[in-house]
Amino acid sequence: MQNFILWFMLLILGGLVFPLSTTSQSTNKEFLYQTSSSTTSSGDIPVAMIATGFIIVDGPGTGTVLATTTDTNGAINATPAFNPATKAEGHISGIGVGEGMNCPGPLGHYHGTLRGQPDPNPENCGWGHVDLLANQSNGIQGVSQAYTDEISILTLIEKEPPDYDGAANAADKAAMDLAMLQEDINDPTKNMIGMGAARRASDKLGKAINGDKFVVMTLSPLPTKRDPAIDVAINLKINNALNIKQEAFMILTEAEAMAAAMAAMAMGE
């Protein structure tokens, strides 16, 4: 019963929690590349190729955004073409009658690969439950975008030859975006998650900002060829930042769910 209540609170989250307004425009623009549509030569948009954004809300993949397409059989698939940073390749399960019996909850879940890593729990919830990206507050979307930005840094470094210039620019942008999000989280007029949760989430984001700044400093001046020592240092720092952003995501998710539940009680629901 407690699990059901938690999932219910997550489902009503989008409608009852005030958004972080300052980040709304930039966040929506940043997600365009993951939710763009493919067209035919005649200009028509085939239904199967319109990407829908999902977000993994718990489990190992927490905070990951998935751009998916729905095929003619109703299968919801993620492909690297629509997910250039995470290279996600898999599908959403548990949406529809008779599915999801091994992964409780009203939400679907993602099975497949992320960043080349295999499904961590193929018999149950895979990488975790998913919800529509559009259902999330701007704060949650902002943290998720920052999570994707960090993965992009690693993807650029892993290229052959490595794109150190692109990685430095991505890290610099990620630090600036996080700083803006941090300001919004700390502004009580733009959210209703409470000062304690805001402070904890802000502290996490501050540590992630330091990680991004480390990347910028490490890549200045830009190496002229692959430097294994730099690659290792950045990988360690960015993977730590990814963990930190997952923690910030969970702090915001739990705080917003609690705020939504309190709002519902106040409304007599």
pLDDT, residue 66, reads: 95
Tell whether 205 and 83 lie within a shared domain: no
Tell whether 235 and 162 lie within a shared domain: yes
Tell whether 250 and 205 lie within a shared domain: yes
Tell whether 223 and 160 lie within a shared domain: yes
Residue type present at position 39: T
In the predicted structure, residue 11 carries a pLDDT above the cut 90: no
In the predicted structure, residue 263 carries a pLDDT above the cut 70: yes
Tell whether 144 and 255 lie within a shared domain: yes
Nearest to 248 by CA among 212, 211, 199: 199
Whether residue 248 contacts residue 52, with contact meaning beta carbons closer than 8 Å, is answered with no
Tell whether 223 and 158 lie within a shared domain: yes
Rounded Cα distance between 141 and 137, Å, is: 6
Where does the pLDDT of residue 188 fall: very low under 50, low under 70, confident under 90, or very high at 90 and above? confident
* CB neighbour class for 130 (10 Å; exposed up to 12, middle 13-18, buried from 19): buried
Highest mean pLDDT among 2-11, 84-93, 143-152, 259-268: 84-93
Tell whether 66 and 151 lie within a shared domain: no
Tell whether 183 and 115 lie within a shared domain: no
Rounded Cα distance between 152 and 154, Å, is: 5
| Structural domain boundaries enclosing 250 | 137-266
Where does the pLDDT of residue 28 fall: very low under 50, low under 70, confident under 90, or very high at 90 and above? very low
Q: Which CATH number belongs to the domain containing residue 239 in this structure?
A: 1.20.120
pLDDT, residue 269, reads: 56
Tell whether 90 and 203 lie within a shared domain: no
Q: What are phi and psi of 215, to 5 degrees?
A: -60, -45
Number of domains in the chain: 2
Q: What is the mean pLDDT of residues 13-32?
A: 38
If you ran DSSP here, which 8-state letter would residue 18 be given? P
Tell whether 121 and 226 lie within a shared domain: no
3-state secondary structure at position 41: coil
Tell whether 172 and 259 lie within a shared domain: yes
Q: What is the mean pLDDT of residues 66-91?
A: 92
Where does the pLDDT of residue 192 fall: very low under 50, low under 70, confident under 90, or very high at 90 and above? confident
* Total length of the chain: 269
Residue type present at position 228: P
Domain boundary among 104, 134, 164: 134
Rounded Cα distance between 122 and 66, Å, is: 17
Domain boundary among 113, 134, 155: 134
Tell whether 156 and 49 lie within a shared domain: no
In the predicted structure, residue 212 carries a pLDDT above the cut 90: yes
The mean of the pLDDT values for the chain is 81
